[in-house]
Amino acid sequence: MAGQTDNKTEKLLAILKLQPVVPVLIVDDAKSAVGLARALVAGGLRAIEITMRTPAALDAVRAVADEVEGANVGAGTVLNARDFDAAVKAGSTFIVSPGSTPGVIDAAKASDIPTLPGAATASEVMTLREAGFGVMKFFPAEQAGGAAYLKALSSPLAGTLFCPTGGVSLKNAMDYLSLPNVVCVGGSWVAPKEMVSAGDWDGITKLAAEAAALRG
C-alpha cells in the first residue's frame, strides 16, 4: 500500500499522544519561535505544529528543531511535495496537510517522516485509508460538522483516528477528546497573537498547562 507504513504510523501516534492539544502556530517572526516553543514545552505541550503560511515558517521550524529541548516540531499547511521536502530538511519530525493530493501522498511515501493528511468527508477518509493512512487531520473541524459528524464516522470507518483542527477551542475541545476516534485536537488558542507579539511567555505557558490538563 502507498502512504504510511505501520512504523511511520507508530511514530506519528507517539508524537500525537504526547498531549491532548497540539498547538497550531502561525509564526511571523522566526526570532520569536524559540521563546514561544519553550513556553509551550514548559506548559506540557511538546508536539508543536508551525504552519507554512508565512515566509518565516521554515526558519522557525529550523530554530525550534535546533534549539528547543523536548520539542517535537512539525510543519503544517504543507500543500505540495516541494514544501514537504523543504519542511523535512528544516527539521520537521512530522508533516501536516489540510487535505491530500497525489503529490503529497507520494512525498509521504518516499519520506521517513510521518504525515498527518487532512480529510473532511467520508469519501476523503476512505481514499486516504486505501492509500495506507489510518491517522488523519479532520479539517476544518467545526465547519465540516464538528464533533457530532466525527462521532458519526466512528462506526462505519472504525479504526481510523483523527486530530480535529479548525474552530477547536478550550470550550469545545472535550467534545472531541471524549470521542473514541480522536487521538488529540489541534488548536491555536494556546498561543494568542497578542501574547506572542508581547513576548508573554509566562502567559502562554499557563494556557499550555491548561490545555495539557485536558483529558479525553
Residue positions annotated with a catalytic role: 49, 137
Q: Which residue has the cell 535546533?
A: 66
For 37, the grid coordinates are 516553543
Amino acid sitting at position 58 = L
For 38, how many CA atoms within 13 A lie in the half-sphere containing its CB?
A: 14
Of the candidates 34, 17, 82, 13, which has an alpha carbon nearest to the alpha carbon of residue 204? 34
The DSSP symbol for 188 reads S
